[in-house]
Chains A and B, each alone.
Chain A
Amino acid sequence: MSDADSERTVSAYVESQIIMTTVRLVAPFSLTYGLFLTFHGADSAGGGFQGGAIAGATVLMIAFAFGIEPTREWLRNRTVVLLASGGVAAFAAVGLIPVVYGDNFLGFPVFKKAFGIKAKWGLEAVEILGVAPIVTGIVIGLFFVIAAGLGTEAPDQEVTTDD
């Protein structure tokens, strides 16, 4: 295996029926599994971090099978940003609700007195609305931004003259 050959196989996208079919079959299950771990993390193994990572990895799998550029076209930047920053905002917002009712930041036991619901709902909200979207968004975001490489390499980018 010469250097030129190996470099080509690493960098160029190869359309493979086997990989595409496998991903087509596996993707619905891995996305469902990721959502299951997120929504069921309170009562069995798993949680927002694990579920979010697997849900994000599903998009990575699709990108690897069908090409990174077509997937990039399909996935809007605002979706990724909304997942990541929306997760941080949701985590902080849920954490501030107990403060409004006179308890500490993230002091979910106050939910019982304030709304008559268990503290569990605070934990669930933090895992499902906070941790999971952040991890999904950042896993997807890191993948596409690293695949794109340095901004200075792309001629259509106009934000490269600031240094």
Chain B
Amino acid sequence: MISPFEAALFVFVLVAAVATALLRDILAVIVIAGAYSLGMALFYAFLLAPDVAMTEAAIGAGVTTLLLLLTIARTARTDHTQLLERPNVPAVFVCGAFLVVLLVTITEFPVVGDPGIAWDNPAITQYYLEHAPKDTGVENAVTAVLAGYRGFDTFGEATVVFLAGMAALLVLKREVFTNE
């Protein structure tokens, strides 16, 4: 049901996620967060979602890591003689409660690839898989949905990306990105 490679990847992602929460040295945390993103990108590729995998690898592992490195380059690094961060008890409690809720719901999830599951509903998913090439003339169903069926939503998302850049300019009190 789950291949050894997937199991190893799962353990890797889990260990990386826990390490980002526990380690004290922020540089180490950023590097591990990048590795975590790369592991997740592989996961998405295994779950046959190459579009999401590419986005995660490029944005999550690449660009975000670079931006975080740039940010800590401009801050003073705190003393990190201790290896681990001292856990914040209320935060541990909240995260633990959230984890319990997630674990309860996860048992209700159907097995990946199980044929009678909700998102295998032919009335919805098969409709797009069958009609997308005819309706839009586009072979990639993901692109057909993103730019075709819900193009207005994508317009909003693209504008949000644009606004992220504007917000960075505003917060950092600059008028130009590079040079005049």
Contact = CB atoms under 8 A, between A and B. Distances in A.
Contacts of B154: 126, 131
A109 B66 CA distance: 41
A126 B151 contact: yes
Given A50-B54, A151-B173, A160-B173, A76 B178 contact: yes
B63 interface: yes
Interface residues of B, number: 53
Interface string A125-163: 011001100110111111111111111100001011000
A80 interface: yes
Contacts, number: 186
Given A50-B58, A141-B165, A142-B165, A10 B63 contact: no
B137 to A, nearest CB: 3
Contact of B165 (A73, A123, A137): A137
B162 A87 contact: yes
A50 B55 contact: yes
Nearest to B147: A123
A3 B155 contact: no
A53 B140 contact: no
Nearest to B79: A3
A91 B178 contact: no
A146 B167 CA distance: 11
A135 B73 CA distance: 24
A85 to B, nearest CB: 7
A77 B176 contact: yes
Chain A binding site: helix, strand, loop or mixed by DSSP? helix
A131 B77 contact: no
A24 interface: no
B152 interface: yes
B114 interface: no
A147 B172 CA distance: 10
Interface in A27-81: 37, 41-50, 53-54, 56-57, 60, 64, 72-73, 75-77, 80-81
A17 interface: no
Contact of B67 (A49, A75, A142, A160): A142
Given A45-B54, A130-B158, A131-B158, A145 B174 contact: yes
B25 to A, nearest CB: 9
28 contacts: A3-B77, A3-B79, A6-B77, A11-B74, A37-B54, A41-B143, A43-B140, A47-B51, A47-B143, A48-B147, A53-B58, A57-B58, A60-B66, A77-B176, A85-B162, A91-B158, A95-B155, A108-B136, A119-B135, A131-B147, A131-B158, A142-B165, A143-B63, A143-B66, A143-B67, A151-B172, A152-B173, A159-B174
